[in-house]
Amino acid sequence: MLDEACFEKLVDDLNSLTIIISGKDDKGATKTKSFTLKSFPGDEFADEEVPTAVVAIYDHKAGYGGLNNLSKVVDGVHWFSREFIADVEIRIHARELKKGAVMFHPRDITSSILTAVKKRVRASWDRILIDYYGSVIDDSLHAERDYQDFVQGTTESMRLLRFQVRYEEHWTKMLDDEVPEGGDIEAIEFGVTDGGTDTPTTVKN
């Protein structure tokens, strides 16, 4: 499974995202309203007064080739890795908003949220997933569904965005107390003292 800390970072990355929508009043003047998005983990639409994005990640499966790779050997320890692919669902919900004489339609609000979320996912999530040798699968960012037909006659709108992310897991077939301390040695630096003696300093991962 994708690391819980990583999942929390992905969810938090959408929290407090600023959204700006525009509309016209009864005189035809353009009015704008800004609001902040609330995001949290879950697998259902959130019935909140403020616009929300609920994030779920599930259906993990083996990625390329479905093979374990011998990724490295360190101090005689064999480390393996495997690519995984996970499905992501972001469920967007909003109610109509009013600013003065202008009423902003909930479908316009969720449409603006969807655009902002897609841009955020493309621009920011890769930076979080890189720590897990992962990334967003960009060409999967197109599965959208508007649930407006199911909530006609109400003052709310719901949309669903689905896409996929890839990441890697790494492990060794040894218990923790059997793995030698240390790790890769990247470099050895030498400093010269006043007495002319080289003093090596080992720099590890």
What is the full DSSP assignment across 53-114? EEEEEEEEEE-GGG--EEEEEETTEEEEEEEEEEEEEEEEEEE-EEETTEEE-HHHHHHHHH
Q: Which residue has the higher pLDDT, 59 or 97?
A: 97
Domain count, the chain: 1
Boundaries of domain holding 198: 4-204
- Over residues 126-184, the pLDDT tens digits come to 999 998 889 999 999 989 999 877 766 678 999 999 999 998 888 888 888 888 876 54
Task: Say how far apart CA 94 and CA 8 lie, in whole Å.
Answer: 22
CATH number at residue 199: 3.30.2000
- At 17 the three-state DSSP class reads coil
- Over residues 79-121, the pLDDT tens digits come to 888 888 999 999 999 998 877 778 888 999 999 999 999 999 9
| Residue 56 binned pLDDT confidence (cut-offs 50, 70, 90) | very high
- For the entire predicted model, the pTM comes to 0.77
CA-to-CA dists, residue 86 to 39, 40, 89, 168, angstroms: 19, 18, 10, 11
Letter for the amino acid at 147?
Y
The average confidence (pLDDT) of the chain is: 83
